[in-house]
Chain A
Amino acid sequence: QLQLQESGPGLVRPSETLSLTCTVSGASISGTSYYWGWIRQPPGKGLEWIANIFYSGTTYYNPSLKSRVTISVDTSKNQFSLKVTSMTAADTGVYYCARLNWNDAYWGQGTLVTVSS
């Protein structure tokens, strides 16, 4: 059974960079035709897709976040990661890693990131 688990700091200071990692178990990131991605959800608000990455390293970003976001993959560790620069209070929320395909979806449990000094 495919499982995804987010890890990273729960608290980030304003203007700093957030770094999150998603560890995948139950399947290999390499050599499959799936995209691996990040979605976030501010408290009490809706879902916002952030970015997707293919195992080869090809990336796709939400245009509204593209200037501040980097997604990367480490196939040797079966992990993929997200960096968000210049964090502000508006970036506070639950960050999910996921494999969203057209006919199935696997999500991590989500990790709460709070931006505060």
Chain B
Amino acid sequence: EIVMTQSPATLSVSPGEGATLSCRASQSVSGNLVWYQQKPGQAPRLLIYGASTRATDIPARFSGSGSGTEFTLTITSLKSEDCAVYYCQQYNTWPLLTFGGGTKLEIK
């Protein structure tokens, strides 16, 4: 079973600044990774698929990178609306899926 580890658990950043969220896989998942954003009381929203492709209607402030076991979600010019929990999920073992534990992004 592939284990996905996200860091940091919590990140506090000021508006206008950038944030870098990390996701590590216990074994290679190639580029088969997605990122989700989840706000309180809502279902997750797909941000990035294929490790680096933005989903429909996702602003260019969100970008993903990485392959193999190391992945990064970068958010630039942070806005208060970006306050959420961000999850990575691998689908290299599709249709068996694994989520990371999440990174809570706080806007100061």
Contacts and interface: CB of A to CB of B under 8 A. Distances in A.
B39 to A, nearest CB: 13
A104 B44 CA distance: 12
Interface residues of A, number: 23
Nearest to B49: A103
Interface of A is mostly: strand
Contacts of B50: 102-103
Interface string A73-107: 00000000000000000000000101010111101
B88 to A, nearest CB: 10
B22 to A, nearest CB: 15
Contacts of B107: none
A47 interface: yes
B94 A107 contact: no
Interface of A: 35, 37, 39, 46-49, 52, 54, 60, 62-63, 96, 98, 100, 102-105, 107-110
